[in-house]
Amino acid sequence: MTKQELHELPAAAERPAPEKPPAASARRTVNRRHRSDSLRGTILKIVLLGLVDAFAVYVLMMLFLSQSWPALTVSSLVVLAINWIYLRKGGLPAKYLAPGVLFLLVFQLLVVVFSGYIAFTNYGDGHNSTKEDAISAIQLTAQKRVPDSPAYKTAVLTKGSDFFLLVTDPSGKVRIGSTQEALTDAPTAGKDSTGKATSLPGYQTLKFQEIVANQDRILKITVPVSGNPADGTIRTADGSTAYQFKPALSYDAATDTFTDTESGKEYHDNGKGAFADANGGTLPTGWKIDVGMDNFVRAFTDPSLRGPLLGVILWTFTFSVASVALTFILGLFLATTFNREDLRGKKAYRILMILPYAFPAFLSGLVWSGILNPEFGWLNQTLLGGANIGWLTDPLLAKISVLVVNVWLGFPYMFLVCTGALQSLPSEIDEAARMDGASAWRVFRSIKLPLLLVSVAPLLISSFAFNFNNFNVIYMLTGGGPRFADTDRDIGATDILITLVYKVAFGQGTGRDYGLASALAIIIFIIVATISAISFKQTKALEDVN
């Protein structure tokens, strides 16, 4: 190193280091911020995934304890798939799509598949479990008091919201049980001077006034003597003394037969999910079995359902088509009227037109039900001066009333749709047609309406599907009435298929019959899907023509 270089070295050391480019500093700041955001995101992901996994483990444990092996297998695979999607690197689209797909499978596809399966079973009242459960239920419900049953000194206890019987047999042995739990020994029970057990640690003993206040629930307490239903139950009528009851029907597993202990009548498995005697009489409790196409056949052959069903189908089509046509015509007329450029106050008029659409349909149905009430409704009492017109009780007037109310509820939707479609049409076409001498009606019929239908036709199809299943307006306004006189089922003149399905499914008239209701729901789906497919094909042809 030369002298000159040694001389310049201190000077160079004293000079400040050159500043780094601002871009590099900004990149480091962004990288640090990105690492910080990435760390927070990772921690948040782990926490949320941990909560989901904790809930999943609980569900899997419950499925394991209940021995639901198919559900346990599917649930385990779903949990593993969720963890694999969110713990692996990459696959960003799957992370966003997974929740939606999962909810779609659980709340849509699973419901549809289950409903389809139920349509091929006899699932309903008295047929909602396995044959083993049905046998136990028959033994528990068909019971009579044992003639020589000893009297059990009894105290009624509560724990939480459950009621228990604390019984003392003649030998002084104390046991406790409830409707859900068989009798078990209670050696720590406290006794009074007569030797009757009156209290037990962890339980609250009811006083006389409390027993009287809860008499209905206490009368329903049926405590199994043991895990074997044939051993009978313990029941009390007054909360102080209990007696033993045993099944009036004795079950023989070898012959798969119930025998009435008094009359000797035998009940055999009839192959239709019930025990029946020689005359065809069945015990009230049965079990769920696969019945194939029987529900679909029964829908059109059952005398109590066949006649009303054909009338309901015809009215459903009439109601749907008339509702779509009337709401479209009225909505289009009002949209055309309030689309004039020289009309003052258009905004106010349009707001008034959509007011019926702003109220919940079920609430509007209840309001109209009060207005049209034949006895004290506003229409009869005020507007018609006290006339007694059965707007909701006469079959024809009830149908007209339902249609009028549905048009009132539905025309604002068509008004909005048609207004938007009319405003999207180019004004040059209208002006050119008028210059050629076309009248306003000819312009509307030959130019505006065809162009309007291209965009509105799919909405008309969806409106038909909606009205085909318009449960709210029917059920809230008339409940499906007035009822037909030629059937024992609760089916009326204004019932449509969806309200009929509801009544069949939830026991309106003849008890709950989920199998038949699911079959009717599948019929509705086939009808709506077929009509929609044909209509969309015609819509495509309409687009090609225009």
Dist. CA 55–CA 50, nearest whole Å: 9
Looking at the structure, tell me whether residues 389 and 487 fall in a common domain: yes
Looking at the structure, tell me whether residues 40 and 175 fall in a common domain: no
Let me know the angle formed at the C-alpha of 418 by 460 and 342, rounded to the nearest 5 degrees.
165
At 227, the pLDDT band (50, 70, 90 cuts) reads confident
pLDDT at 312: 95
pLDDT at 426: 83
Looking at the structure, tell me whether residues 60 and 162 fall in a common domain: no
Looking at the structure, tell me whether residues 158 and 105 fall in a common domain: no
Give the domain-ending residue among 231, 251, 271: 251
Percent of the chain scored above 90 by pLDDT? 55
Within a domain: residue 515? yes
Distance, CA of 335 to chain centre: 37
Looking at the structure, tell me whether residues 61 and 161 fall in a common domain: no
* Residue 282, both tokens: 């069945």
Looking at the structure, tell me whether residues 197 and 305 fall in a common domain: no
Within a domain: residue 292? no
Looking at the structure, tell me whether residues 105 and 157 fall in a common domain: no
What are the tens digits of pLDDT across the range 245-286?
998 998 999 999 999 988 899 999 999 999 999 999 999 899
Within a domain: residue 310? yes
Looking at the structure, tell me whether residues 156 and 200 fall in a common domain: yes
Residue 59 near residue 75, CB atoms below 8 Å: yes
Number of domains in the chain: 3
Within a domain: residue 150? yes
Looking at the structure, tell me whether residues 112 and 242 fall in a common domain: no
Looking at the structure, tell me whether residues 396 and 531 fall in a common domain: yes
Phi (first) and psi of residue 290, to 5 degrees? -80, 130
What are the tens digits of pLDDT across the range 151-187?
999 999 999 889 999 999 999 999 999 999 999 999 9
Q: Is pLDDT at 79 greater than 60 in this prediction?
A: yes
pLDDT at 486: 82
Q: Is pLDDT at 12 greater than 50 in this prediction?
A: no
Secondary structure letter of residue 231 according to DSSP: G
What are the tens digits of pLDDT across the range 392-446?
999 999 999 999 999 999 999 999 999 999 888 887 877 787 787 788 888 888 8
Looking at the structure, tell me whether residues 159 and 306 fall in a common domain: no
At 339, the pLDDT band (50, 70, 90 cuts) reads confident
Higher pLDDT, 194 or 546: 194
At 13, the pLDDT band (50, 70, 90 cuts) reads very low
At 18, the pLDDT band (50, 70, 90 cuts) reads low
pTM of model > 0.85: no
Q: CATH code at 319?
A: 1.10.3720.10
* Residue 309, both tokens: 């069903």
Q: Is pLDDT at 327 greater than 80 in this prediction?
A: yes
Q: CATH code at 176?
A: 2.40.430.10
pLDDT at 155: 96
Residues sharing a CB contact under 8 Å with residue 158, sequence separation 6 or more, in sequence order: 164, 203, 204, 206
Mean pLDDT across 504-531: 88
At 6, the pLDDT band (50, 70, 90 cuts) reads very low
Within a domain: residue 324? yes
pLDDT at 429: 78
Q: Which domain holds residue 240?
A: 143-251
Looking at the structure, tell me whether residues 99 and 241 fall in a common domain: no
Within a domain: residue 136? no
Within a domain: residue 101? yes
pLDDT at 268: 95
Within a domain: residue 200? yes
User: In the predicted model, what is the mean pLDDT of the chain?
Assistant: 87
Give bridge partners of residue 242 from the DSSP assignment.
152, 236
